């Protein structure tokens, strides 16, 4: 018979679900790649997880602790595929796509990508994580740490990466006006 370990009753089983990842750069392993289509064209969905250190397998553990039909992998990086239309935005997509591929190639000695997205699975790359704000269904602003870019593993190791800017919602400005209940009978307006 097992002996109940110290503080068993006090262990917070929700701690992992509520754990947050500090913003910064991490060594990542690509766990899956899917070619997808959306309103803005085709893209690669690249699912990754942290592959070493204190936060190793962070996203796999969070995924395993989810329940229900809406389980979601917590770290997907989206790489737009250029449409070859010659537009300025298409040229920018080409730059971002090639940067991602070079980061993967430079992080995996001897690897050269041959335009087969499945070859990216199991490969390593640096992940750059920043703060991202969003308005929840409760109307409140929430903050998460989200992957915003990639770099080489070497840049993560030597600290020469540059984090993108945090993705914060625009601040609501105080315009000096107060909400007034117009149905209130005893309201006094300054121009009455």
Mean pLDDT in order along the chain per 10 residues (192 residues): 68 54 97 95 97 96 87 93 92 96 98 96 98 92 94 98 94 63 58 54
- Cα angle, residue 21 at apex, residues 52 and 70 outer, rounded to 5°: 100
Q: What is the pTM of this model?
A: 0.77
Contact at 8 Å (CB) between 87 and 99? no
> What pLDDT, on the 0 to 100 scale, is given for residue 183?
56
Q: 161: closest CA among 23, 22, 25, 21?
A: 25
Contact at 8 Å (CB) between 138 and 35? no
The full set of domain ranges for the chain reads 23-158
> What pLDDT, on the 0 to 100 scale, is given for residue 168?
93
């Amino acid at each position: 018979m097992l002996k109940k370990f110290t503080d068993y009753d006090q262990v917070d089983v929700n701690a992992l679900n509520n754990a947050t990842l500090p913003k910064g750069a991490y060594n990542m392993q690509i766990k899956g790649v899917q070619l997808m289509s959306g309103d803005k064209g085709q893209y690669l969905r690249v699912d990754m997880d942290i592959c070493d250190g204190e936060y190793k397998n962070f996203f796999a553990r969070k995924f395993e602790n989810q329940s229900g039909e809406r389980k979601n992998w917590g770290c997907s990086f989206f790489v737009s595929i250029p449409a070859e239309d010659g537009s300025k935005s298409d040229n920018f997509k080409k730059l971002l796509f090639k940067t991602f591929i070079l980061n993967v190639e430079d992080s995996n000695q001897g690897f050269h990508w041959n335009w087969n997205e499945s070859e990216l699975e199991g490969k390593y790359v640096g992940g750059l994580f920043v703060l991202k704000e969003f308005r929840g269904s409760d109307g409140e602003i929430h903050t998460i740490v989200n992957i915003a870019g990639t770099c080489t593993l070497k840049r993560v190791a030597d600290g020469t990466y540059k984090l993108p800017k945090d993705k914060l919602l625009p601040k609501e400005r105080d315009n000096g006006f107060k909400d007034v209940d117009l149905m209130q009978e005893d309201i006094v307006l300054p121009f009455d």
